[in-house]
Structure 1
Amino acid sequence: MKISTSIHMFNTDYPIGEAIRRCKAAGFEALDFNYTDYVPRLIGMSWAEEERWAQEIREAAELHGAVFAQMHGPIHGAAFDSMQPGLDLDTYAAYSERALRTAAILGASWVVLHPGNRMLAAAEPSAKQLAFNRNVYLRLLPVMEETGVGVALENMFDRPRGGGRSVRSYCAAAEELAELVASLDHPLFGACWDTGHAHMQGLRQGDSLRVLGALLKAVHIQDNHGLTDAHLLPYQGTIDWKEVMSGLAAIGYQGDFTYETHGYFRPVPLELMDSALTFAVSTGKQLDGLFQLESTGTRQLIG
């Protein structure tokens, strides 16, 4: 697997070209662009301005021999009836379409988006949630086919939120995510597995990954202690990483190993960031070694 990272260990005021350079110099083989962090700024931009901005980022990546493989698109909010300021269903769809076009300029193959509850305050049957989410994301299919960029829908979580909160988050379970992606029935729709979300949900990640199987196209690799979405580097929390790598190997995962670990990086002073990035690459290579061992064992078992 290629060891990859989101570049949002650096905040949005940090020069993007310099962030790309430092990640590439540390040994990352691919990058994830954190489009979602720029949405408050992009809301005030025309598409022509965003297009020029995206082209500048592409040129900076090419200058440093870096490639963007995936991107995190806009986040709609806690639920589709409780969206982020400035968004409703129509504007969320519009900015998701813009994210797909920006991803195409950057050369990224997948944009990660969130499925979610139709309503924040009420639990609804899974079938109703499925139908609603399916309709939301099918709106993007014409632009997906035009650009060739896919949408990977991410597993969510609900268990630790607000202590006794009873409303479930749709697609907190791998079975729901697999059902939604399969219902979209198009090769440009896939799944993204966030290891931190799964750990907070208390899932056996190997079993969940086997449920997704070939639907899995991207990952968000992060650790936590099962209580908050901490976005730590692997081994800094309590995730069983051997189980995760075994699950990825069992399904023959072909994508990148992409960190979403800003919780680890952001407290690090800028003058120590290069050392932190290099250590993160070393950690990824160690985990890739586990993946390769598990893959070899799986192939021998099948053979």
Structure 2
Amino acid sequence: MRIATSTNLISFNRDGSKTEMVHLLPLYAKEGFRVLDLNLCEMLNPNASLAGEQWKEYAERLGQLKNQHALVFNQAHAPYARNGEILEEMLTRSLQICHTLSIPILVVHPIPGTIEENHNAFLPYLKAAEEYRVVLAFENLNEEGELTDIADLIGLVDGLASAYAGICYDTGHAHMCTHDLAKDIIMMGSRLVATHIADNKGKSDEHLLPFYGTIDWESVLAALSRIGYRGDLTYECMFFNRHLPLELKVQAIRQAKSIGDFLLSRVP
């Protein structure tokens, strides 16, 4: 396993603005993060470079920064709509970016509804993912009407019956839903291809660093080891530092890296 982070780790600012990935990659590399999850949800900001006509040039710049700083893009996160609809153009663009930048996994949110409805909705995109050799990793969610149970995600992935369909396990979402995280992980087994590592106190999706909430990380790591998980521990912890002044953001990156190294040292 490796420790990784979403590129949104310090992207949220005190004034409500968000810093784009191209400005953050060199800083993450400098502070020791070499494995990154590209947060393609930047497309949801109409003023973002990734949302405009120059998105291909922006993606090319990300690739240049990757090579310049010896980075690895282990996965990406596709944009999603709050109402649960598939954002067709953005999802297609996300797959194209993954293909261009050799990103092996694209995390997607299932739509609200049944396993069958999700199967039918994502099947066309799975065909594209297979052509691009990008795994669609379906994330466990946390709201009523969404796919929150691991058994449902397993049913979706098994029904799609493709080497390019898997699960991204969000520890924060599972904890909010009062899951036994170790049990979930054992159930997923080889279907687990990616993670969103975040902590909370069981009430809201706080996106905290590990040990700032109430998740039992020792049991999580033991379960990951038991199933032979070969993927990464990828942070999605963008809220623990969002109110920090800019001058303190670098310290927040260092803290995140230190906690990640500690987690890795505790893997059985």
- Report the TM-score when normalising by structure 2: 0.91
Match of 2:104 in 1: 109
Q: Residue by residue, what CA displacement relative to the aligned partner does 1:140-197 show, whole Å, maximum 9, x if unpaired?
A: 0232122211110000113xxxxxxxxx333211111111111111011110000000
Matches within 5 A, 1:140-159: 140-158=125-143
Which of 20, 27, 31 in structure 1 is aligned with 2:25? 20
C-alpha root-mean-square deviation of aligned residues, in Å? 1.8
Match of 2:249 in 1: 273
Equivalent pair of 2:168/2:194 in contact (CA under 8 Å): yes
Letter in 1 for 2:2: K
Query: What is the total number of aligned residue pairs between the two structures?
Result: 261
Residue 279 of structure 1 deviates from its aligned partner by: 1.6
Residue 278 of structure 1 deviates from its aligned partner by: 1.4
Q: 1:282 to 1:63 in 2, by over 3 A?
A: same
Q: Percent identity?
A: 32
C-alpha separation in 1, matches of 2:25 and 2:122 = 30
- Answer yes or no: is 1:240 the counterpart of 2:216: yes
Q: Residue by residue, what CA displacement relative to the aligned partner does 1:76-125 show, whole Å, maximum 9, x if unpaired?
A: 32334xxxxxxxx5xx233211101112223321111111314xxxxxxx
Q: Residue by residue, what CA displacement relative to the aligned partner does 1:192-214 show, whole Å, maximum 9, x if unpaired?
A: 00000000000000001111110
Determine which structure has the larger helix proportion and give its number. Answer: 1
Equivalent pair of 1:200/1:226 in contact (CA under 8 Å): yes
Q: Which has the higher contact order (CA 8 A, sep 6+)?
A: 2
Which of 48, 57, 60 in structure 2 is aligned with 1:55? 60
Equivalent pair of 1:93/1:139 in contact (CA under 8 Å): no
In structure 2, runs of 5+ residues without a counterpart are: none
User: 2:5 is paired with a residue of what secondary structure?
Assistant: strand
In structure 1, runs of 5+ residues without a counterpart are: 81-88, 119-128, 159-167, 294-303
Letter in 2 for 1:19: L
Match of 1:45 in 2: 52
- Answer yes or no: is 1:95 the counterpart of 2:118: no
Match of 2:11 in 1: 10
Match of 1:300 in 2: none
Residue 18 of structure 1 deviates from its aligned partner by: 3.3
- Answer yes or no: is 1:171 the counterpart of 2:147: yes
Equivalent pair of 2:126/2:136 in contact (CA under 8 Å): no
Considering only CA atoms, is the larger Rg found in Structure 1 or Structure 2?
1
